[in-house]
Amino acid sequence: MNDTAITFDPDALIQLSGITKTYGQGQAAFQALRGVDLSIRQGEFVAIMGPSGSGKSTAMNILGCLDTPTSGAYLFDGVHVEDLSRDQRALLRRNYLGFVFQGFNLLARTSAQENVELPLLYRGESAEARHEKGMAALRSVGLEAWAHHTSSELSGGQQQRVAIARAIVTDPKVLLADEPTGNLDSKRGHEIMELLVSMNRDRGITILMVTHEPDIAAYAKRIVHFVDGQIAQDDSNGGTA
Amino acid sequence: MGWTTLLLALREIRRNLMRSFLTVLGIVIGVAAVVTMVTLGNGATQSVSDQISSLGSNLLMLRPGQRMGPGSGSLGAPSFKAEDAEAIRAQVGSLKAVAPTVNRTAVVVVGTRNWATSITGSNSDYFTAGNWTLAEGRLFNATEERAGKAVCIIGATVRKELFEAHSPVGDTMRIKQFSCEVIGVLTAKGQSAMGRDQDDTVVMPLRTVQRRLTGKQDVSTILISMQDEASSEQVINQISLLMRERRKLSDNEDDNFSVQDTKEIAKTLSGAIGTMTALLGAVAAVSLLVGGIGIMNIMLVSVTERTREIGIRLAIGALEKEVLMQFLTEAVVLSAFGGLVGLLLAAIACYGLASMLSLPFLFSPGINLLAFGFSAAIGVIFGYVPARRAARLDPIEALRHE
């Protein structure tokens, strides 16, 4: 697809090169991504913006190793993700990625603590280690006292903080946040952003965040604009926060 | 990994306790039904063979008429006489006892108590043929048999109903217009295979009953006990030949009497009960299958309902295999647990029913293990399809699911 030779940035944690994604076939085919090149270094805080249908969600799914590109190369820490099997991508997510979603996506009727410990369960960690790390993660989002409350007993902001605790409990290299403040009022939204900024600053976790709100994107150090399946603008941002 | 999946499955079951219980109800009932049916059937078979052996070993019954069916009786066929029994004793070899019997129901009165019971007229051989032993007292002597004296030997039930704790030997009972002296009490035998109380009986010399109760010389059944090494086929043949001769049957006439071997009756009865047990067990097994389909149904609904949860697990990094195992384990734990509860229910039901139907309660590890194994297997078989569906979900689609 891409004739141009792929140039690798040796310092990049994530490198997309000539990524395309096509849904459907023939007449009904829809090209969501039309050749995306993106390089992200360790420790960056990147906001991905763009109107709906611009391909930002598709790009996020590919970056999160939930989906594979139709063509192009995706290097994650030197590994060609586009060549990995479904289970290999699952292992990559398990060990290096953390997810925060717009709808929180906590397990229902499950305590905050159990939710946070879930990724550790899949990593086969002992009950003791799970408990210790889980409580530490909850402490870092300020919800230690709410460990035994189920999701329905928590406010939206609290639920999102539990989700962040779940995402960072495994010490991931990258945290992917899809509209993390979309379901929150502006005060809670800013609290969540403060939390993400501190995760980026204090723990050095690389954060990729999709948002359509400029004031939320302003927390990021770099803003990537998607339009019609391509990157239209890639700005460095001082970070207003 | 195995431990973790089990933990996840248990958590999920606990989270939906009510639904989990309803899901496994089919399995519970199925297992309970199968195990109860088979256990009670085995008990019934055991009970029949016990009773038949208590009836007497190597026992033949000679009756007038062909093929005793319910109500058919000895229609038209001439009865036997005491002389027929004498002839058999004299002319057929390898016999232990020959007892001509006649039966009559009568009310027995002692003081102010009375009791309707079955009166049997026979000789001392009757006790040998019927495997009866004396609890106290003595059997008839030759003089009493010949003279038709009014002496009687009573069963345990009659003793219980008519006499207090004191020994009845030497007391007199009134039967119709005559009195008779109790000379012995029989050891209790319990219920017969047909559910009749065998101890509800009074035995007197044959002649006494003929003279004072029936008023006829007829004998209804001749009980013949063979020696242990005797071939029943040979003995039956000899008896048949002798009876044909004595009844003056020509070659083209059918027998107007029948000789039944109690062993054959026992075999037929146990066979019938065995068939019945198998049939009931099979019907119950169908309910197990239905229970399995119930589990599959609920698991499928559960997968749809938990699509988002599966999406979260997959996004977090659960492998396809792990999600499959989680759902499969849930199904197996559910059905195996249902199986266990079913076994417990069956044990309770068997215990209660066995004493109600006065059958022995024979705990059979085989059927219990089989039913439990089957219920666990149902979990695997019917849990697989929903589990695979869950494991193959696309995480992006699953997360978007409302």
- CA distance, residue A149 to nearest chain B CA (Å): 14
Closest to A16 (Cα-Cα) out of A53, A52, A58: A58
pLDDT of residue B194: 62
B8/A121 touch (CB, cutoff 8 Å), yes or no: yes
Tell me: do B198 and B92 sit in the same domain: yes
For residue B82, what are the contacts with CB-CB under 8 A and spacing of at least 6?
Answer: B100, B206, B207, B217, B219
What DSSP character marks residue B323? H
User: Are residues B276 and B376 both part of a single domain?
Assistant: yes
pLDDT band at residue B71 using 50, 70 and 90 as cut-offs: very low
The torsion angle over the Cα atoms of residues A44, A49, A55 and A58, rounded to 10 degrees, is 50
Last residue within a domain, chosen from B198, B222, B255: B255
Asked whether the beta carbons of residue A90 and residue B1 sit closer than 8 angstroms, the reply is: no
Instruction: Quote the pLDDT of residue B55.
Output: 67
Q: Are residues B91 and B230 in the same domain?
A: yes
- Indicate whether B124 and B242 sit together in one domain: yes
Task: Say if residue B162 is in the same domain as residue B221.
Answer: yes
Q: Which of B229, B255, B281 is the last residue of a domain?
A: B255
Decide if A133 contacts A171 (C-beta within 8 A).
Answer: no
Sign of CA dihedral B125, B129, B132, B133: positive
Query: What pLDDT band is residue A3 in, cutting at 50, 70 and 90?
Result: very low
pLDDT for the residue numbered B346? 93
User: Considering only alpha carbons, which residue of chain B is nearest residue A121?
Assistant: B4
Cβ <8 Å between A107 and B309: yes
Domain boundaries, chain A: 12-236
* Res A240 pLDDT > 50: no
Tell me the average pLDDT across A9-28: 88
pLDDT at B68 over 60: no
Instruction: Look at residue B65 and tell me if it is in a domain.
Output: no
Minimum Cα–Cα distance from A110: chain B residue = B15
Tokens for A91, please give them. 């292992």
Q: Are residues B278 and B145 in the same domain?
A: no
- Tell me what the pLDDT averaged over chain B comes to: 86
Please check whether residue B261 lies inside any domain of the structure: no
Query: Are B196 and B236 part of one and the same domain?
Result: yes
Strands B113-122 and B201-205, sheet pairing: parallel
Is residue B42 in a domain? Answer: yes
CA-closest candidate to residue B43, choices B296, B360, B355: B360
Do B316 and B219 share a domain, yes or no? no
Domain holding B21, by residue range, is 2-51+267-400
Residue A8: pLDDT band (50, 70, 90) is low
Query: Is A99–B11 a contact, with Cβ atoms under 8 angstroms apart?
Result: no
Is the CB of A91 less than 8 angstroms away from the CB of B313? no
Asked whether residue B234 falls in the same domain as residue B92, the answer is yes
**pLDDT given for residue B198 in this prediction:** 84
B62 occurs within a structural domain:
no
B157-176 pLDDT, tens per residue? Answer: 998 888 877 788 888 999 98
Q: Which of B7, B8, B312 minimises the CB distance to A105? A: B312
- Cβ contact, residue pair B313, A61, below 8 Å: no
Angstrom distance (rounded) from CA A6 to CA A106: 39
Q: Which numeric CATH code is attached to A12-236?
A: 3.40.50.300
Residue that wins the pLDDT comparison between B298 and B202: B202
Report the C-alpha dihedral over residues B131, B136, B140, B143, rounded to 10 degrees: 160
Same domain, B156 and B11: no
Question: Percent of chain B, pLDDT > 70?
Answer: 95
Residue B293 lies in a domain: yes
What average pLDDT does the segment B54-61 reach? 75
Contact A109 B15 (CB under 8 A): yes
Q: Are residues B241 and B283 in the same domain?
A: no
Between A187 and A3, name the one with better pLDDT. A187
**Residue B167 located in a structural domain:** yes
| Residue with more model confidence, B358 or A53 | A53
pLDDT tens-digit map of B100-125: 999 989 999 988 888 999 999 999 88
Q: What is the mean pLDDT of residues A159-175?
A: 95
* Cβ burial B258-292 (10 Å sphere, 16+ → b, else e): bbbbbbebbeebbeebeeebeebbeebbebbeebb
Among B255, B281, B298, the domain-final residue is B255
- Measured between beta carbons, the chain A residues lying within 8 angstroms of B316 are 93-94, 99, 118-119, 122, 166
Select from B4, B316, B320 the Cβ nearest to the Cβ of A86: B320
Q: Do residue B142 and residue B240 come from a single domain?
A: yes
Confidence at residue A6, expressed as pLDDT on a 0 to 100 scale: 56
Task: Name the residue facing B317 among A106, A109, A119 (closest C-beta).
Answer: A119
Percent of chain A beyond pLDDT 90? 79
Number of domains in chain B: 2
Sheet holding A79-80, edge to edge: A30-41, A12-23, A71-76, A79-80
> How far is B382 from chain A, CA to nearest CA, in Å?
25
A11, pLDDT greater than 80: no
| Interfacial residues of A (vs B; Cβ cutoff 8 Å) | 61, 64, 66-67, 86-87, 90-95, 97, 99, 101, 105-110, 114, 118-119, 121-124, 166
Q: Which ipTM did the prediction report?
A: 0.90
More confident residue, B44 or B3: B44
